[in-house]
Amino acid sequence: MLLELDLTREQVAALETKKSQLDEDCKIALDLLDENYAQFISEKSRLQAEADEAQQQCDAETTARQQAEKELCNTKKYSDAQEELYIREKLKLWERRHRWWFRIGVILSLAIVALSICLWLYFGDSGYFGLLSALALPIIPLTAGSKIFSSDAKSKARQELLEDYHEQLKKVK
């Protein structure tokens, strides 16, 4: 029985040694787990900060892109409006010029007819009706001025003005 007791004491000592060794291993494992957890937390925080920074950068880029698109749209609208204003003003000038040509032609025609009638009435000679052949002279301003009544002529003038405007823009650039 003593022998068994010695054996049991040896086993208890061996078990206690194993227990203390296991306790040390457990403490080392727990310390390692704490260290790994701390590293995990710091790595997670670093990655979260990088993700937040990337998200902020993405948001800033999106905002900048939207702003640029909005400014481009506004610039396009402004450019179109400016082009339309330029064309409208030039077309008004074209119409005014052609109205004057038409008026001059009408006035010259009326003047020739009135002069012929006045001379015929004053002198009583129908030979003054030969002045009516001068009605060919106002045909030039009348035909130039009559373009104001032609939608085809207006659209051609508008197209020419547009082409001139675009050429001027190209020269400026």
5-32 residue pLDDT tens: 666 777 778 888 888 999 999 999 999 9
Integer Cα distance of 111 and 128 in angstroms: 14
| Mean pLDDT on 45-58 | 95
| pLDDT tens digits, 123-160 | 887 777 788 888 888 888 988 888 888 899 999 999 99
Find the radius of gyration of the CA atoms of the chain.
Answer: 51
User: pLDDT band for position 87 (50/70/90)?
Assistant: very high
Q: Is 103 left (phi over 0), alpha (psi -120 to 50) or beta?
A: alpha
Q: How much is the pLDDT for 6?
A: 65
Q: How much is the pLDDT for 71?
A: 94
Using the predicted structure, report yes or no on whether residue 42 has a pLDDT greater than 90. Answer: yes
Q: Domain residues of the chain, as ranges? A: 2-172
| pLDDT tens digits, 100-133 | 999 999 999 999 999 888 988 888 877 777 888 8
Q: Which helix (H) or strand (E) element contains residue 108?
A: helix 2-123
Side chain identity at residue 68, one-letter code: A
Q: How much is the pLDDT for 30?
A: 93
Using the predicted structure, report yes or no on whether residue 3 has a pLDDT greater than 60. Answer: no
Which pair of structure tokens corresponds to residue 70?
């909005």
Q: How much is the pLDDT for 4?
A: 62
